Structure 1
């Protein structure tokens, strides 16, 4: 079996489906696989084990749901990329895919349920073959230097997105969050996890 140098977190509240996903990822060769039943527990896992390369993420669950979890980890660079796995209707999943992109998190795909081993394996290798992939253990500060960030600000590459916060059960908009993203000319939309440490370290936060 090929060993994939990937750390993967499975966020799934259904115990049987969580077990199936964990076992499938291990069978496909993932080096480290962790699991949690809701967003709060997933954050606790990440605090304990550190960043992961991929989160295989359900959307609807008791307590902190998948999207709220992704919003939180996007700010601090604890997740490298996202694979959605949900049984929600197509319209809701399409909205979720758009929100993940606005968060600046690379979206590898939306597999739905039940998981397909061949499709999942393809997404894992897609992530490994991406030239912009950064290993989970790499510190965010190493991704963007002060000069690069100053130049981006001078060229007005920093943009603000207004992201609605949606109740997945009712579809109601219950709030809004302002998110700054770096619209990089070659790398696309870049997460704050990449550039915020450099901004803070060189005193550009107010600017």
Structure 2
């Protein structure tokens, strides 16, 4: 028997059963099964970490790559094998990736999975870490569900706001709403500390609704003072599977006498890998309400040009990784091509991760207009944002 602890993450029951059967033929003694990333995280929270995750790259719900990033950050997975009906170019690109948040990519498999090919990839892990090696202890765990529910009930989850701005003038052009947990004993926690647990325990809608109320309250206050500001909220694709959340957003806008044009909703590019009819309908309903739709972390996922053309998105947010490497020809090529793509599709383009004047000026020369990052302002509370807006920082005029 192969002394490995393996997770099979697959939504389709038939395909999941086939993968488990292949592992059992190879003598793998302990196989965990999950149909969604949320379920997998909750399962490992109860039963501990694993050696290898076998993940379907076309996975629904919590996107496969998002799940791997969370699991890697929590140190509950050591290595990963991806499988899908890969196109040759996509397979080569994935095989060139070194890791997902520190995870070792053992390789990729096409479907249907062949037992011999699977055995070859498992042996790569065995050579790196022999079966006799003691199983590594989990060094970090998800927050406790009871603690999360208590924090939500007591209003400890707070909206922070990070401005978006026009690169050339420094004029504020909106703000992204970011979640923070003001924990009574652990202090101010960032999403990396709790978001995986919020998803795992299916509390993402409750947290979003609280952030929405805080954001709309701020917009109402600004309107009374004669100011306008567009707010961007992050949504997970799984939240759009049911119409209830869209109806909640519509009612909330009516309650605060605000328009859908005041809001933009951001979805990570990785979550667009495969969008079903229900999610497409929800996206369309948001657009009909006047809300903007933004593709977040663009450039690090695997969305297609076909999706960009046919889904009702209005904005692209280019991942900050390309700004950090702006001196490299490859990053420059990605930035300039994304500018051309956004213009051809009549979509706005926001550059994430602008951290200093040098980056800002380089982006302006390349034709970028909108940006977001610490060069303009760090995320701040609603009270801090109100004070900041009274004397906005002019990014284009800052001296280093």
- Which interval holds the TM-score relative to the shorter structure? 0.5 to 0.7
Q: Distance in 2 between matches of 1:100 and 1:66?
A: 16
Q: Which of 166, 183, 190 matches 2:301?
A: 166
1:1-207 aligned at under 5 Å gives the runs 3-99=1-97, 101=99, 103-131=101-129, 135-140=134-139, 164-166=299-301, 168=303, 176=319
Structure 1 residue 9 displacement after superposition: 0.3
- Structure number with higher helix proportion: 2
Q: Which has the higher contact order (CA 8 A, sep 6+)?
A: 1
Distance 1:175 1:70, change over 3 A: farther
Q: Deviations for 1:47-102, whole angstroms, at most 9, x for unmatched residues?
A: 12111000011112221111111111110111111111111423334444445625
Structure whose CA Rg is larger: 2
- Tell me which residue corresponds to 2:219: none
Runs of 5+ in structure 1 lacking a partner?
142-161, 179-207
Residues 1:17 and 1:73: Cα distance change in structure 2 (over 3 Å): same
Figure out how many residues of one structure are paired with residues of the other and give that number.
Answer: 156
The separation in 1 between residues aligned to 2:101 and 2:72, in whole angstroms, is 6
**Counterpart Cα distance in 2 of 1:100 and 1:49:** 28
- Alignment CA distance shift 1:90-1:49 (3 Å): farther
Stretches of structure 2 lacking an aligned partner (at least 5 in a row): 141-296, 309-315, 322-400
SS in 1 for 2:128: coil
Any runs of at least 4 consecutive aligned residues in structure 1 with deviations exceeding 2 A, and if so which?
88-100, 131-141, 162-178
**Which stretch of structure 1 is more off in the superposition, 23-32 or 128-137?**
128-137
Contact 1:164–1:176 (8 Å) recurs in 2: yes
CA distance in 2 between counterparts of 1:177 and 1:94 reads 23
TM-score, normalized by length of structure 2?
Answer: 0.35
Scaled by the length of structure 1, what TM-score is found? 0.64
Relative to structure 1, is the Cα distance of residues 55 and 11 closer, same or farther in structure 2, using a 3 angstrom cutoff?
Answer: same
Contact 1:92–1:168 under 8 Å retained in 2: no
- In structure 2, the partner of 1:152 is none
Q: Distance in 2 between matches of 1:62 and 1:169?
A: 16
Taking structure 1 as reference, are residues 6 and 86 closer, same or farther at Cα in structure 2, changes over 3 Å only? same
What's the CA shift for 1:123?
1.6
Report Cα offsets for 1:159-182 as digits up to 9, x if no partner: xxx99542546577756377xxxx
CA RMSD, 1 decimal? 2.9
